Structure 1
Amino acid sequence: MKKRSTWLVCLALLCVIAATAACTGGNDNKGTAKNDSGSGNGNGTGTGTTDNTTADAAKEKVTYTIFNGVAGSKDINTNETTIGKVLEDQTGVNFKLEFLVGDLNTKIGTMIASNEYPEVLIPDAAIEEVMNAGAFIPLDDLIDEHAPNIKRVYGPFLDQMRAKDGKLYYLPIAVQVGDYVPDPEPGAAFYIQRRVLEEAGYPEVHTLEEYLELIRNYVKAHPEENLTGMVSLTHDWRFFSIANPPMHLSGYPNDGNVLVDLDTHEAKAYAASEETKRWLSTLNGLNAEGLFDKASFVDNYDQYIAKLTSHKVLGFYDQRWQVQNALNVLRDAARKDTAMDGYNYFPLPITFDAGTPDAYVEPQGGLVTNRGIGITVSAEDPVRIIEYFDNMLTEDNQILTSWGIEGETYEVNEEGRFYRTEEQINTIDEAFNEQFGFKQYSWNWPSYSANSTLADGNGKSVGYQPEVFQMSLTEGDKKILGQYGAQTYSDLFAEPVYRAWYPAWGFAKEQNSPEQMWEAAKEELQKKYFPKMVLASPDNFEAAWKEYTEAFAKLDTAGYEAWTTEQVKQRIEND
């Protein structure tokens, strides 16, 4: 496996608008994670943050609702968490967090039909429908008048975020601030249980066939365990988990529906390509061997996560953020009982063919503009909401939501470097994350991106701070990484290549535009035909593939590719 020469490489800096305001000191000690001097952001430009929390806290307390179009979390009030209570003390605002149960399009469709929305909406993949319905209010004036920190953080990207009418309706979830810090773990991978690698003597694993052979051999050696070789996720909008692997197996990063050539910058759809045929044919064969979980095509997300934590599933492909809850549960169990470490999963940089460089580690790229958080027409006091978002973007509160409270969840050494003690690392498990609020505030809010740095040079994200990542490793982590001569999981993967357009799936599309309709039609065909192809008897696979590709040929794929290529080249020109 390809080793990375160093995993902490500071890449090109992104612009941050200079500001000169100092913190007011309106937080008490418990609510202040760190004093922000406004002296700089690590690249020579000032990032003083404006803090209006003293005035905000004097206002009457209110509760607003945020609906998040992603399932997998429980509904909760933010002030039931430590972080949320601190932010309520600062602003007087509490949010009731509601998460998706059931089908996203059905839920959003009901809101649109009734014209009744929560005050704040994170519609995820249904954002075009929400925009088309006029559910979001423009944010331009609110930001100009009430949100200096939003302007400071999002300022360099505002023009990329505007709708066709020139207005700003939602904020992308996160943007790059300061230096770029690479992730010590890959963004996606083919995962395998550690006990499989241990029993095989920790072999080098490069290709899909090598990966599957490990799984076959382990299942054969343990017939009494009733093991599942591989499982996949196909529920609702998460269908990409079974549709995307041909992209990575071919050596490309997650650009969604296309492979973008690094030299020509031409975008090519792969949904009906030979690479996809090769992937589906492999699953078809795996299913015929009894090693693929047929329920993959009917299970919902919660059932999928439950299977990953059941100790019965040997392998799967997915984005790490999507399975992080399962990985956390397994890691917490291994930390308490080392005998459980074998059920943890290990990420592998699998490609179709030996010698193909992988591209699983997220590269530095552009801005995701087709996802975000917006204030709806049902909000009675948008000013209070935008002020809350703005207050979150002070450096103090970016530290609070990521690192927590100094002396409780992190420490600062004599050089000003943030770290966690071994006791803190052992205490901060999944249950603690929920109680403290790290889980609720780790995503979905306006924030610095995970790869960002703070003004003093510390990493914004705890796990990206080298010394913290190393200390957070369990004995099982250290053992298996040592077997492969690595210090981080990303050491096992190829170095990411800079792509100014990345990710192509993040390009905003107008509702009912040709490209948006192509994506919807493409996914509909995949959901119809993928189960037929994977679950067919091997001698019927070719007929099912032919039926699928004939239906796919009726789509305007050339038009979609041309539009995507144009977007890619525009991003490059504006880089």
Structure 2
Amino acid sequence: MRNKKWLPTSLAVVTAVSLLLAGCSSNNGEGAKTNNTNSSSATDEKTEEVSTDPVTFSYFAFGTNKDVLASETTIGKILQEQTGVDWKMEFVAGDPTTKAGVMIAGGAYPDVISPVGELAMLLDAEALIPLNDLIEKHGPNIKRVYGPYMDKITNEDGNIYILPFTANIGGYLTDPDAGSSIWIQRRVLKEFGYPKVKTLDQYFELIEKYQAKYPTVDGKDTIGYATFAGEPGQFYTVTNAPMHLAGYPNDGNVMVDMKTHEAKLYQGTDYEKQWLQSLYEMNLKGLLDPESFTANGDQFKAKLTSGRVLGFSGYTWQIGDAINNLKKAGNDDLRYVSLPIVFDESITDAYMDPPSFVNNRGLGISVSAKDPVRIIKYWDNLLTDENQKLVQWGEKDVTYSVNEKGRYVMSDEQLANRNDNEYKRKYGWAYFDYEWPRYGDNSVYEDGNAHRPFSQPEVANINYTDGDRALLDAYGIATFSDFFAKPVERPWYPAWSIEKEQNSPEDIFNQKAADLQQKYYPKLALAPEGQFDSVWNDYLKEFGKLDAAGFEAFMTAKVKDRVAGKW
């Protein structure tokens, strides 16, 4: 069984230096010793040349994308022409733990895996190979991109198993349109003269007031409030709310004190009770969607695009298709805007992410991989500036243009394509812009252009509709991120990426605590009138049987390690 803890900083730095030095010297060194027995390849050991003969590998990720052969997309075809490599890409919705367990039980894996939250489980099963030797021999671009983060991605056993998705390059550019997880339909704000809405009570009162005035839309009842909690693996959407409403960023299930760095659970606190009691009261008024805890992702997004939902909880990455479809439909009043909602006026919101690095979300090569060398060379080629621009911007003069100042811009037509879900799939942006070795979202190229198109001010401005500008003007702001407080640096962020060794006390606590939330949140939100407090007390009794103090001590120690530079 592998030890899955990350290296202490001092040892990790030694590892990082050895990797970087190896990249600057000849390629005949031994490098780090690994247990990889799957490195057979059409590689000439003297020339380090790798065959570009056609080959197709299997790629697996958890998600709702449609399965595809990479070469059927424009980006995948261009990359295939460069390398000879194609990918059979499979995406599986549902419970990732169950799927990972099936893989492990069968002992057969796709060539590469994006394990999401199942990294510890796959490492424990020794399903992923170490990448050290492969990076040293074939990864100059990997070293360039991940060099500053080597201490964060190296395990205590000295091996690197995944390449994460958040390695920032060339600076840090804040997304001008970043938002929160609490949204309101724009026609609600418009109806009441674009009022200031900061507290949860103000937010729900506005929705209630609007629904009383307009109970139906196109002959169907409006839905006051819904939440993205019915999709397997997405329940954190509703459980994270107390943390955000209390003025903390997305650190998972803990709130970290800025001065003491103590990590405290919000589960079982007055914050959680206040949130659930608000849902309970909304339900008693007939304003909470009764399918909030059962509707899957497609059903939830269909409700959003119907125009019936007045407010909802959901992160942008969960509901992107619905947001794009609403924009494409052209009725700005039925679109949504996220707001910095908190419990009371004295709280400063913290929805905007500070600079961060997530070290337990990435792509790894499995022990079943047919040719790890071809795969690592593909990844290295993907990490050139040219190909990073391809997977984000596309092709010059086709999907974007360059103005006389050297700035990347988009025409109305190019922008419409970038916002069209089907075009994004056909072109390949839906498949290549995230779950691969990549530059982090906030990266900046050497020429000053943003890595992500919508972080480019010129593109963000063109992307605004008349309705966008009217709303921004009404609130006296220039971009949607201006609704929110500026992010505050948190050296540990995000705490949810702190790895819990499989079957450790912390891992077991996490699972049992989450199970309790999934059991009791629907009971509490949908409780009959007068029964909320009794159900809450039952919940607290069961929660009290868990070792919350031990988990908090573990998380506090890990947070303090990160503050001290030890990942």
TM over 0.5, shorter chain: yes
Q: Give, as a single letter, the amino acid of the residue that structure 1 aligns with 2:182.
A: F
2:31 aligned partner: none
Map Cα deviations across residues 443-489 of structure 1 (whole Å, 9 max, x no partner).
11110111011122211111111111111111111111111111110
Cross-structure match for 2:437: 446
Query: Are the aligned partners of 1:176 and 1:448 in contact in 2 as well (CA < 8 Å)?
Result: yes
Check if 1:563 corresponds to 2:558.
Answer: no
Q: Partners in 2 of 1:316 and 1:108 — Cα distance?
A: 31
Instruction: Letter of the 1:164 partner, please give it.
Output: E
1:128-143 matches, cutoff 5 A: 128-143=120-135
Q: TM-score, normalised by structure 2?
A: 0.89
Map 1:138-287 to 2 at 5 A: 138-225=130-217, 226-234=221-229, 235-287=231-283
Determine if contact 1:205/1:350 at 8 Å carries over to the other structure. yes
Distance 2:207 2:49 in 1: 57
Structure 1 equivalent of residue 295 of structure 2: 299
Instruction: Indicate the residue corresponding to 2:408 in structure 1.
Output: 418
CA distance in 2, matches of 1:422, 1:196: 28
Aligned equivalents of 1:158 and 1:538: distance in 2? 55
d(CA) in 1 for partners of 2:323, 2:353: 19
Judging changes above 3 Å, is the alpha-carbon distance between structure 1 residues 173 and 81 closer, same or farther for their aligned structure 2 residues? Answer: same
Using the size of structure 1 for normalisation, the TM-score is 0.88
Measure how far apart 1:119 and its partner are: 0.7
User: Does the CA contact (< 8 Å) of 2:179 and 2:339 recur in 1?
Assistant: no
Task: Report the Cα offset of residue 272 of structure 1.
Answer: 0.8
Map of 2:506 onto structure 1: 515
Q: Is this contact kept in 2: 1:187–1:362, CA < 8 A?
A: no
Q: Distance in 1 between matches of 2:305 and 2:383?
A: 35
**What is the rounded CA distance, in whole Å, between the counterparts of 1:123 and 1:189 in structure 2?**
24
8 Å contact from structure 1 (residues 515, 560) kept in 2 = yes
Contact map agreement 2:94 2:233 (CA 8 A) in 1: no
CA distance in 2 between counterparts of 1:82 and 1:230 reads 39
Q: Which amino acid aligns with 2:459?
A: V
Q: Distance in 1 between matches of 2:165 and 2:277?
A: 37
Shift of 1:18: 9.0
- Indicate which of 380, 387, 391 corresponds to 1:401: 391
Q: How many residues align?
A: 523
Match of 2:486 in 1: 495
- The 3-state SS of whatever aligns with 1:231 is strand
Structure 2 unmatched runs, 5+:
1-15, 24-47
Query: What is the percent sequence identity of the aligned residues?
Result: 46
Contact 2:20 2:147 survives alignment (8 Å):
no
Give the superposition deviation at 1:430.
2.1
* Cα shift at 1:227: 0.7
Return the match for 1:541 from 522, 532, 539: 532
2:11 maps to: none
After superposition, the Cα gap between the structure-2 partners of 1:198 and 1:18, relative to the gap in structure 1 and judged at 3 Å, is farther
Counterpart residue identity of residue 416, structure 2 = N
Asked if the contact 2:179–2:338 (Cα under 8 Å) also holds between the matched residues in 1, the reply is no
- Runs of 4+ in structure 1 off by over 4 angstroms are 15-19, 55-58
Q: Name the aligned partner's letter for residue 457 of structure 1.
A: G
CA contact (8 A) 1:411 1:419 kept: yes
Mind listing any 5+ residue stretches in structure 1 that lack a counterpart?
1-14, 22-54, 335-339
CA–CA separation in structure 1 for the residues paired with 2:469 and 2:145: 37
Native 8 Å contact 1:501 1:571 kept in 2: yes
In the alignment, the residues of structure 1 paired with residue 467 and residue 77 of structure 2 have an alpha-carbon distance, to the nearest angstrom, of 36
Contact 2:180/2:351, CA 8 A, preserved across alignment: yes
Name the counterpart of 2:369: 379
| Pair 187,132 (structure 1): closer, same or farther in 2 beyond 3 Å | farther
- The residue that corresponds to 2:447 in the other structure is 456
After superposition, the C-alpha distances for 1:378-435 in whole angstroms (9 at most, x for unaligned) are 1110111111111110011111111111111111223222111233213332222111
Q: In 2, distance between residues paired with 1:511 and 1:177?
A: 32
Q: Please list the CA deviations of residues 97-138 of structure 1 after superposition, one character each: whole Å capped at 9, or x if unmatched.
A: 111133322221111111111111112122221111111111
1:282-322: CA deviation from partner (whole Å, max 9, x where unpaired): 00111111111121111222222222212111111222111
Give the alignment partner of residue 343 of structure 1, picking from 331, 334, 340. Answer: 334
1:183 touches 1:362 (CA, 8 Å); kept in 2? Answer: no
Aligned to 1:66: 59
Q: Residue type matched to 2:446 in 1?
A: A
Output the CA distance in 2 between the equivalents of 1:427 and 1:403. 11
Superposition CA RMSD, Å: 2.1
The alignment partner of 1:109 has SS state of: helix
Whole-Å separation in 2 of the counterparts to 1:559 and 1:385: 41
